[in-house]
């Protein structure tokens, strides 16, 4: 575990959550762990941002939740993607990729 995980880029939290949930249903802690694991500990999701984001996304109708018993026997709230969330993921992902590619192009040009 590196001492200094990189901060999340602005606006990418929703995208990361959506992407995580596209792989299956997770509870809040699981989402944070999943992102940490896939990013090889480079990204850390703060609890203080995660739960408000989950509430907001529920109201937007992108994700839904239900209480289930976790494999360890603890009650937890599990989130899953809705159809609207799947569409949203597609849109955000392509927007993000285009934006990153463009940003990278700009950065490279300034190198020369």
Partner 1 sequence: MTPGEVLRRLRAWARRGQLDRELAREMDAHVDLLTRDLEAEGLAPEVARAAARRQVGNVTGLRERSRDAWGFPALESVLHDVRYAIRGLAHAPGFAATVIVTLGLGIGANAAMFAVIDRLMFRPPAFLHDPPTVHTVYLQITLPNGVQTSSTMPYTRYLDLAQRTRSFSQLAATSEWRLAVGRGLETRVRKVAGVSASLFGFFDARPVRGRFFGESEDQVPLGALVAVISEAMWRTTFGARDMTGESLRIGSLDYTIIGVFPEGFTGTTSGGAPDVFVPVTTIPPNLRQSVDDYDTAYNWDWIVVVARRAAGVSAAAATADLSQAYRGSRAAQRATNPRVLADSVAHPRALAGPLKDAAGPDPGAESRVLLWVSGVALIVLLIACANVANLMLARVMHRRREIAVRLALGVSRARLVGQFVIESVLLATFGVLAGLLIAQWGGAAIRTLLLPQGSGFNLATDWRTISIAGLCALVAALLTTVAPAVLATRSDPAADLKAGTREGSYRHSPLRTALLVLQGTMSVVLLVGAGLFVRSLANVLDIRLGYDAAPVVEVITDLRGQELDDAGMIALRRRLLESAERIPGAVAVATANSQLFRTSTTTLRVAGIDSVARLGRFNVQIVTVGYFLVMQTRILRGRGFQETRPGGVPEVVVSQAMARVLWPGVDPIGQCMQVAWDNVPETLAPCTMVVGVAEDVAQQGITDEARFLYYLNADQMSAFFNARRFIVRMPGARIEADVERVRRAMQAAMPGDGFVVVRPLQEIVDDNRRSWRLGATLFVAFGGLALAVAAIGLYGAIGYGVTQRMHELAMRTALGAQRGHIMGLVMLQGLRVGAAVVVLGLVIAAAAAPFIEPLLYKESPHDPVVFVSVGALMMLVALVAGLPPARRALTADPNRVLRSD
Write out the residues near partner 1 by the rule CB under 8 A.
27-30, 33, 47-48, 51-52, 54-56, 58-61, 67, 70, 72, 74-77
Burial of 98 (C-beta count, 10 Å sphere; 0-12/13-18/19+): exposed
- Residue 2 or 48 with smaller CB distance to partner 1: 48
- Spatial separation of the C-alpha atoms in residues 75 and 19, rounded to whole Å: 24
- Residue 4 or 111 with smaller CB distance to partner 1: 4
Geometric angle at alpha carbon 16, from 12 and 18, rounded to 5°? 115
Shortest approach of partner 1 to residue 71 CB, angstroms?
11
- Residue 19 or 62 with smaller CB distance to partner 1: 62
Q: What is the CB neighbour count within 10 angstroms for residue 52?
A: 11
């Amino acid at each position: 575990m590196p001492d200094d995980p990189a901060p999340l880029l602005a606006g990418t939290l929703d995208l990361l959550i959506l992407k995580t949930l596209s792989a299956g249903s997770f509870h809040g802690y699981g989402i944070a762990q999943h992102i940490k694991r896939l990013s090889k500990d480079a990204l850390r999701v703060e609890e203080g941002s995660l739960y408000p984001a989950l509430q907001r996304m529920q109201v937007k109708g992108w994700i839904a939740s239900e209480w289930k018993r976790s494999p360890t026997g603890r009650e937890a709230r599990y989130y899953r993607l809705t159809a609207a969330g799947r569409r949203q993921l597609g849109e955000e992902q392509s927007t993000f990729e285009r934006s990153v590619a463009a940003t990278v192009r700009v950065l490279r040009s300034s190198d020369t």
